Structure 1
């Protein structure tokens, strides 16, 4: 391959340039692999674990320094506020949401340098995640299964770190420890564990635990899909699929946009918007929910491709729109933009900290399935959702009014 590229490069500057770029990227990949290998050799025996989202920049710095300085860098990185915030996002997914409150408390204690509480709470989360997802205790083979396409499985991964941190502690010792040994912490045999490096290693272990079980779930889903795709369909399934395809095609071909409606004055006093099969009815409902500050119901109507929990999305809306009141709303125009979407222009009167103003925006509605895949309006299995652009515009308006 390289020989052919070099021969071609004799006649083409573009080929030479492209090949130099390929070799540069290959060298970067090889350097990252070498840095990961060095990390596994030097730091895993000390209770650190490699994981998929480990900063490549941190790994590169670790390769250039001694172990003592390296542990200082790792401690600083894993206790960094932004690093912990990014990890916290994972607890908004359904897989890890049960431990979100404990994680929030662990972060609270970390911020005030209460390392004793931070470490204990973090170990509780790790134990809960591992036992729930694997049926085994983390320090008793709960993460031993090989998982495809993740740094947390195999050399330098989660299982190796758990073996180090699961070392049995049989006698009480009041000497300081530098790693969250389970027996020492949970069974009270190493009570002098309240140190930053111990908390950092606990968070590092949590990072690896989360990545490992996300990858395990993804692998199980891929295998299930592959098995389902390879399974020969029955005659009835094939026939049903053909009917469904024909129905969707017919619905799409027969759909026609309604005439645009402008100069409207539809507001909360109108009584003819109860039919939620039409997008303007959903828009009116959405505006009423905004007026009532019903963030949970608003979040349930919003399109959210990451499919985070409604509770999390409601909390985000509450933060963004805190202090803003919708006093009055009017729908001024309706336009069908496609078989699955309608754009509705709205005028609102809003108030922030006693300051009132007029605001015009758009509600973009989309007919979709529960996974937010667009569908032809009116077909079975779909419903109207609202894109979150209006609430974003309202947040900007809130900031502007609050600054006055």
Structure 2
């Protein structure tokens, strides 16, 4: 039995089962009979799964494991029992055994549908062949690289960071239950060469050749588990698919849109084309961003950050659709702080009629760091083509801004300590 992919849905199912148990007598009057044992078992199993999931991250995130929908519930319970007895290596071995190649293959097939992963799928399959053959030295660096690249394509910034600001519940880098804590563990600085065995996939130590004892099944299984956890979160929360014209029109028809709106939408989608690379390069070089363009909004965000105008940034963020902009502004002030020096736009990409990427850089020549902002053209809570009047460009995720601020600070601190 796996962990739930949607905890809120599981909680709703538990509540429904409890309600059905409470009104079972009334239901029987209407000829509906549900055995009480069935309801009791459903409630018990659901509550156990939620309890184990919550305990799992608190117990194992610092050891390189995270709970996700693909994690075997029985293995998780057994590992928690071992951990309660202080048998950490045994707990690792139980969990590593549960990450069989067949389970990972199923999850990789699901991840192929993610735009940030589709071009990486074939490399993942080759790494899985190494994993199945016990060539852990070969598969671990590949899996870590796949996770790093896919997360950067999805959010605009890589997940591995040595900043300590990853455990706050208000952090925009907390992209799923326990994920930021896991990334903090895997991002630990590993500057000294170590030849002894390690049981944690330390990204920096492995990729830079200072952790030499990583070639074992436990490290490999943890790396795959992190990639799968990221993939499941991306499918559910962070990667809305760019809607094709037919689907978008169907949505509008179902919502009783007018014929005029439909005609305008059809015309806009038919006639839209991305700007040429040379035109975008010229815009970046000139630094002149026309109002109503994604790069103009990105530039406005950088200017607001430089002036400490966090409310303006909040109002230009999709997070403002989910919470009060004033409260969001307070979080921004805490999590991104004062703007780093050298903020500027370095590239623009028209990725679709209603989406674009804008690359940013901050810092000086020795401490520079680069991220990408994903901007969406929206009207209310709906994506619309940029050629439709009434829409506005907003930043999709605040993750890159927090990453940029912390990464520049980290690089500057490392330089001063050198």
TM-score normalized by the length of structure 2: 0.47
Query: Which structure: larger Rg?
Result: 1
